Structure 1
Amino acid sequence: MEQRNNLTPAPLEMFTAADVEPKEVKWLWKPYIPFGKVTAIQGDSGDGKSTFALNLAAILTRGDTLPFTEESHEPMRVIYLNSEDDADDTVVPRFIKAGGIRSHLVFISEKKQRLNFSDKRIRQAIESSGARACIIDPVAAYLGQDVSMNLANEVRPRYDSLITVARETGCAVIPIAHMNKAEGMKANARMNGSVDFVAAPRSVLTIGRPPGDEDPDHRVMAHSKCNLARLGPSILFSVSDGVVEFIDTIDITADQLVKALGSGKVGETKQAVARRELLDMLSKGPMAQREIMERMSELGISQRTCELAKAKLPIKTHRIGMLSYWELADRPDGNDATM
């Protein structure tokens, strides 16, 4: 068959499964963000995806335990590419508010030339700085001016460059994308542009406002795709003045978050369940903390979540002998609970 454009055909190379040394996936934040892979974050404009990513960067630079896991890493450098906000008056001030270590947040200068996914400077920056994570915000700005984001045959080669950099450096690469306006579609059909924006990443996180929640600061991170592990639980968090506070896990899928047709009703957060159970148990009178925790454990609610729920209720604690008791400060009958 005639080769077009005078391209020399590549020689055939074959290997078997016996030639491959199996290895386990390493995780930045299991099961949401793997090392050495691309993880996409998507959300509507103004819903806090960039703030979420910058606060995540702050956690990584401090070496803190990641939300709702027991995982932590040594403080690490994070490369942060952002084409929409200036570093001096927006990104760095927000990063400082989030408690990040400034010397660990790395920028690549674009004064002489704009970056794109196939730019060798991204790999050079990861290798020279030792960065373990690289955030790219937004993804469309770094495709390159000659690429149409709606054409798979143009998007995929550029994305493959990014995938190769992640694989060969072990860096967790995290592009951020806007969602399209196709309301009623499933979460993985909402990413703006070519289907490759959601097909190429090994994990996708969807951020949005929880349906029916009246708190204007509340957001949810829902795991909408993962090719490497089971989907992780959705996480409720708040965004206030550029600072993210992680609140609780919540029973909601990514499809429910984006109000996809046929996605079903949204569940409660575990904190909400814990508050309801505490009110029910303590409405009958004081109860030993040990018994309360046993009941919560049966419901799959951790002690930490129970303590957070307690803090939002009029519950006081006292001891009788060696046991700690919880009781409502105001019983439903209007009288203070007493022993």
Structure 2
Amino acid sequence: MKAWDTSEFPDGVRLLRAAECEPQPVQWLWRHWLPRGAITILAGMPGTGKTTLALSIASIVSSAACWPDGSQCIKPGNIVIWSGEDEIEATLLPRLIAMGADLERVHFVAQIQDKGSFREFDPSTDIRQLMMKIAEIGGAAVVIIDPIINAVSGDAHRANDVRRDLHDLVVLARSNAAVIGISHFSKSGGKVNQHPLDRVIGSQAFAALARVVLVAARRSNSDERLFARAKNNLGPDGGGFEYSVEHLVIPHAVETSKVVWGDSVDGDAQSILADAERSVNLSSRLDEAKDFLCGVLIGSGRVPSTKILELATEAGHSTSTINRAKAELRVRAEKDGNGGWFWRL
């Protein structure tokens, strides 16, 4: 936006003529998944590994590694992490080490000096001071706030309170940072056909304010997990990735965990979550879906995923069940040069 020379004008509202502006493309850290300059919400039920997912993203950015879809993070960037739930040395640091983060680029928000004494950092009041510290280290590519509800000093179930109290985080994001706010699903969530955005704890303003909402789920009675895109105001939504949380031991006999990314998953977030959290026995439906997939793929080489899902819908199979069948059959998902996805046995 054009900078104003305030000395030329009296006090009052400034209007910027559209003809004087230039359109700017969205800056993505991870194309169509994680935008810079905006707030992204990562939400899910307990036990899905939301914090570990966020740390996986941080590790990829800090070391300019590859994203789950195989694309390359263009350049490494600084990471700033505030956690109100996990210890740095016992939990956060070991996970970052396990996932190959460049520790020189990772910064934890610890205490804050206030009137000559130290106290705990409070994201509901101290974000502006954090912005100044981030400027001192040359900026940040990713800022993680865990949980984001702690950034609200008022009533987290009132839209006006949420929008007012998250204003400083919005300003922080405008410094070209991808702000990731970790949140939980409400305990009353999980109703049939309930949209994932309606399950994010607190006011709907959290999901409304975020430009992207990512969700995590864990299959009932299983260690399999799913990561999906529930909202994207800046690009396509839907789709996701399988992942698992692997437990391991790093040097100094420290037990920790890391995210291991799996295959891509097609479908909308609502159906992906519904399938993952369904408690009834779906073995017969799954077997039928596996038979269907084999019938489509055997002898066909690779088939566009959109075509498979279209045929599956016509045959009465849900997208989520087809994705489970795909995982069990170890169907490979491949991306062509034009960005389309194909499946092959």
TM surpasses 0.5: yes
In structure 2, the partner of 1:205 is 214
> Using a 3 Å threshold, how does the CA distance of structure 1 residues 156 and 250 change in structure 2: closer, same or farther?
same
1:218–1:237 contact (8 Å) kept in structure 2: yes
Tell me, what secondary structure is at the counterpart of 2:119? coil
2:37–2:173 contact (8 Å) kept in structure 1: yes
In structure 2, the partner of 1:259 is 274
Counterparts of 2:190 and 2:244, CA distance in 1: 24
Residue 187 in 1 paired to residue 196 in 2? yes
2:62–2:101 contact (8 Å) kept in structure 1: yes
> Aligned partner of 2:167: which letter?
D
Post-superposition CA distance 1:174-209 (Å, at most 9, x none)? 100011123322111011011111000101001112
1:275–1:310 contact (8 Å) kept in structure 2: no
Counterparts of 2:143 and 2:238, CA distance in 1: 21
Counterparts of 2:102 and 2:17, CA distance in 1: 46
> Aligned partner of 1:192: which letter?
I
Residue 132 in 1 paired to residue 141 in 2? yes
In structure 2, the partner of 1:29 is 30
- Unmatched runs of 5 consecutive residues or more in structure 2: 1-10, 112-117, 248-256, 276-281, 308-325, 332-344
Tell me, what secondary structure is at the counterpart of 1:65? coil
In structure 2, the partner of 1:104 is 105
Counterparts of 2:16 and 2:172, CA distance in 1: 23
1:108–1:125 contact (8 Å) kept in structure 2: no
In structure 2, the partner of 1:175 is 181
> Aligned partner of 1:245: which letter?
V
In structure 1, the partner of 2:60 is 59
- Work out which of the residue numbers 246, 251, 274 in structure 1 matches 2:261: 246
- Unmatched runs of 5 consecutive residues or more in structure 1: 1-9, 282-291, 302-307, 314-327, 329-339
CA positional deviation for 1:136: 0.8
Moved more, 97-106 or 222-231: 97-106
Q: How does 1:1-339 map to 2 (within 5 A)?
A: 11-110=12-111, 111-119=118-126, 120-129=128-137, 130-144=139-153, 147-167=154-174, 169-180=175-186, 181-184=188-191, 185-210=194-219, 216-241=222-247, 242-259=257-274, 276=294, 280-281=298-299, 295-296=301-302, 298=304
2:41–2:214 contact (8 Å) kept in structure 1: yes
Tell me, what secondary structure is at the counterpart of 2:74? coil
> Aligned partner of 2:229: which letter?
H
In structure 2, the partner of 1:325 is none
> Using a 3 Å threshold, how does the CA distance of structure 1 residues 273 and 62 change in structure 2: closer, same or farther?
farther
2:229–2:240 contact (8 Å) kept in structure 1: yes
Tell me, what secondary structure is at the counterpart of 1:259? helix
CA positional deviation for 1:70: 2.1
> Aligned partner of 1:160: which letter?
H
Counterparts of 2:161 and 2:328, CA distance in 1: 53
CA positional deviation for 1:163: 0.9
CA positional deviation for 1:32: 1.0
Counterparts of 1:258 and 1:299, CA distance in 2: 19
Counterparts of 2:130 and 2:291, CA distance in 1: 45
1:43–1:49 contact (8 Å) kept in structure 2: yes
Counterparts of 2:291 and 2:238, CA distance in 1: 19
**TM-score, length basis structure 2:** 0.71
Tell me, what secondary structure is at the counterpart of 2:59? helix
1:126–1:132 contact (8 Å) kept in structure 2: no
> Aligned partner of 1:179: which letter?
F
Counterparts of 1:55 and 1:18, CA distance in 2: 42
Counterparts of 1:32 and 1:209, CA distance in 2: 20
In the alignment of these two chains, the number of paired residues is 274
Which structure's CA Rg is the greater one? 1
> Using a 3 Å threshold, how does the CA distance of structure 1 residues 274 and 85 change in structure 2: closer, same or farther?
farther
RMSD over equivalenced CA pairs, Å: 3.2
> Using a 3 Å threshold, how does the CA distance of structure 1 residues 77 and 278 change in structure 2: closer, same or farther?
farther
